[in-house]
Structure 1
Amino acid sequence: MNSYEEVRSRLDAVDYLIDDGLAMAVFLALRLGKPLLLEGEPGVGKTAAAKALAAALDTPLIRLQCYEGLTAAEALYEWNYQRQLLAIRLAEARGTRLADADLFTAEFLQERAILRAVRHAGPRPPVLLIDEIDRADDEFEALLFEFLGEAAITVPELGTFTAERPPVVVLTSNHSRDLHDALRRRCLYHWIEFPGPARAAAIVRRAVPGAAEPLIVDTTAFVGRVRALDLDKAPGLAETIDWVSALAALGVTDLVEPLVPSTIGTIAKTPADRCAVVAALPLPGERP
C-alpha cells in the first residue's frame, strides 16, 4: 500500500472502518517492516484490525492466542517426539543406532505459529496476529525479542531461520498489565479509542446491514453513554454489534420496547452491570 489513504480505502473495502491515526500506524508498519502493537480496551476492534488487514492484503492470517503459561513449544516450535521415538525403534529393528544429530533435523521439527510465519513460502508474507500479549507471562515476551527485532527464530539444534520476506506482525493488548520496554521498542504503537457515536454507527451499519437506521443511531449513542457508568466491564464495539444484531432479529426498532431489557446480556456481562444498564434505558417518550 502506497499511502495511509490507500490503507483506509483497502480496509474500508473489507468493511473495516478506521480513523487517520490507525491508518497511519498500519501504513508505517507496512512501509517500515515493523511489528505493530495495538492497545485499547476490550472490544474496540484490535483483533478485527489484523483480520481485516490480512483480507485487504489477500494473504493468510496466522493467529497466536496468548494465555498465562504459554511456552515456546506452543508458540514457536517443538520436536515431534512420537516420530523421533518411532525412528529410534525402526533403527533398533534394523540393528542400527541413531545419533542425536539424526533425531534433531527439520524432518522432526513441528512449526508453531511464529516459526510457521517465518518459514511461510506463499506469494505474499502472512499477517501474524499475536493476540492479547498481555495475557502471557513476562518470560514469554523475552522469547519474542529475536523474532520482533530480526524476523528470525533460532532453533539451537538447527540454527537460525530468518524470514525471506518478514511477516506483517500485529500484537494486541488490553493493557491489563505493563509490557516490557524491550518489546515496546521493537514495535510501532497505536492506542485504539472507542469510536465516537457517528463512527460507531457507521461500523455497526456495516456489520448489521439489516438493522433499521434509527435503531443503529440510538443503540450506539446509548452504549456511548453507558460506557461512562461505573461498570465492571464496559461494552465495546463487539458487544454493540451483538446487541443490534439481537434487536434486529427480534424486530425491535426502538429502545423503549418491552423486549429490550431481556437483550441486555449482549452488552452487560455481570449481574451488577446488567442492573445498571437496564436502569439507564430510556423510558417511553424519552430520547435514548
Structure 2
Amino acid sequence: MSGNTHRELPTSIDATQALLAEGRYVADRALATAVFLALKLKRPLFLEGEAGVGKTEIAKVLSATLGRDLLRLQCYEGLDVAAALYEWNYPRQMLEIRLAESETRGADREKLAADIFSERFLIKRPLLQALEPNPRGAPVLLIDELDRTDEPFEAFLLEVLSDFQATIPELGVVKAAEPPIVIITSNRTREIHDAIKRRCYYYWVDYPSAARELEILHKKVPAAALDLAQEVVAFVQRLRKRDLFKLPGVAETIDWADALIQLDQTSLSPEMVDNSLGALLKYQDDIAKIRGTEAAQILEEIRQEMNAAKLQAVLQA
C-alpha cells in the first residue's frame, strides 16, 4: 500500500483471518479472534511466547494490509522517556539562545524560554508519534520485547496505554484523537506487571502444529519441494520435544528451508542436516547434541513415517 490509502478495520473474525492471510500470515482461529477483539475494542494486544513464533510479524502484517504506518519501539534495558516518547533538541536550543543573545543583547528571557521549548525543537519518538493525527489512519505501534525493559518504564507506559495520552511538562498533555493499534510483545524472560496486562487483550503465541507450520512454509518458502518441506517441518517438530537450550521457532524453520533451497536440496540427508544446523539452532551445545547420530536417527524416523503414510494412501486409493 502507498500514499494515503488505508483500509477500514475487519468487521469479523473471518475477515481478520483473511486479512492476516493476505499478508502471508497463517493464523489459527484463536489468534484471529484475539486480533479481531483487540482491534474492535481498541485495546492493546499483548502477545507473549517464545522467540521466533511470529509475534512481531503480526504488527508488520497489520501495518501492510491495513495501509497504516508502523511505529516500532524496540525495548532494551535502560529504555527511558527520552528514547521512547520525546526529547528536546539541546544543540539547536543552545544555538537559538546564542543567536538571540547576540542579536538582541537584552533578550526577553521568558519569551526566549517559551520559544526554545516549542514544538519545533521537539524530537518525537515512537510513542509520541503514535498519538499524533495521521492521514493514513491510526498507526500500528509495535512495542517489541517489553520484557527487556525494567519496571519504571512499565509504570511510565500505563498513562499511554490507559488513556492514549502523554504529558510533556513544557507543552501539556498530548492525547490521541484516534487510538493507535498497539501490539506489545514479550518473550517472557521476566514477568510483566499485571497493571500492564489488565489494559491489554492477552494471547499466548505457541509453536504451530505440524500442519500449520507446513502451511506457513508453503507461503514463506514456496520454492521448497513438498517432500523437503514435510521433512523440514517434521524434523523441527521433533527437535522441539528435545531438551535444548533454545528450541527453534518458526523463523528458524523458514531460514533453514530457505538455506536448503539455496543449496539445491530437494530432500534431507544426514550429511546436509549436520552441515546446515547453524541455520536452525543458535547455540553450539544444542548443535553438538543433535549433530551426528541423533540427527540421523530423527531423519530415519521421519522417513519411516512418511513411507508408511504414502503406503497407506496407496492402499486407500
TM-score by length of 2: 0.88
User: Which residue of 1 is the match for residue 3 of structure 2?
Assistant: none
User: Which residue of 1 is the match for residue 257 of structure 2?
Assistant: 244
SS in 2 for 1:69: coil
Q: Which of residues 167, 175, 180 in structure 1 aligns to 2:193?
A: 180
Structure (1 or 2) with the greater helix fraction: 2
Q: Does 1:150 align with 2:163?
A: yes
Could you tell me how far apart the structure 2 residues matched to 1:256 and 1:153 are?
56
User: Which residue of 1 is the match for residue 13 of structure 2?
Assistant: 4
Provide runs of 4+ in structure 1 moved above 6 Å. none
User: Which residue of 2 is the match for residue 134 of structure 1?
Assistant: 147
Deviation of 1:102 after TM superposition, in Å, equals 2.6
Deviation of 1:282 after TM superposition, in Å, equals 3.1
Percent identity between the two aligned chains: 47
TM-score by length of 1: 0.97
Q: Which of residues 91, 95, 116 in structure 1 aligns to 2:129?
A: 116
Could you tell me how far apart the structure 2 residues matched to 1:250 and 1:257 are?
14
Q: Does 1:259 align with 2:259?
A: no
Q: Which of residues 295, 298, 303 in structure 2 aligns to 1:281?
A: 295
Amino acid at match of 2:162: G
Could you tell me how far apart the structure 1 residues matched to 2:209 and 2:296 are?
20
Deviation of 1:285 after TM superposition, in Å, equals 5.5
User: Which residue of 1 is the match for residue 87 of structure 2?
Assistant: 78
Alignment of 1:11-50 (within 5 A): 11-50=20-59
Give unpaired runs (5+ residues) of structure 2: 1-9, 304-317
SS in 2 for 1:67: coil
Q: Does 1:107 align with 2:116?
A: no
SS in 2 for 1:34: coil
1:255–1:282: 8 Å Cα contact kept in structure 2? no
Q: Does 1:67 align with 2:76?
A: yes
State which structure, 1 or 2, has the greater radius of gyration over its C-alpha atoms.
2
Could you tell me how far apart the structure 1 residues matched to 2:177 and 2:115 are?
27
Q: Which of residues 282, 297, 313 in structure 2 aligns to 1:269?
A: 282
1:91–1:97: 8 Å Cα contact kept in structure 2? no
Q: Deviations over 1:14-73 (max 9, x none)?
A: 101101111011101111110010000111000011111111211111101000010100
Q: Which of residues 109, 120, 145 in structure 2 aligns to 1:98?
A: 109
User: Which residue of 2 is the match for residue 58 of structure 1?
Assistant: 67
Deviation of 1:167 after TM superposition, in Å, equals 0.5
SS in 2 for 1:37: strand
Deviation of 1:257 after TM superposition, in Å, equals 5.1
Between Structure 1 and Structure 2, how many residues are aligned?
288
Could you tell me how far apart the structure 1 residues matched to 2:215 and 2:290 are?
23
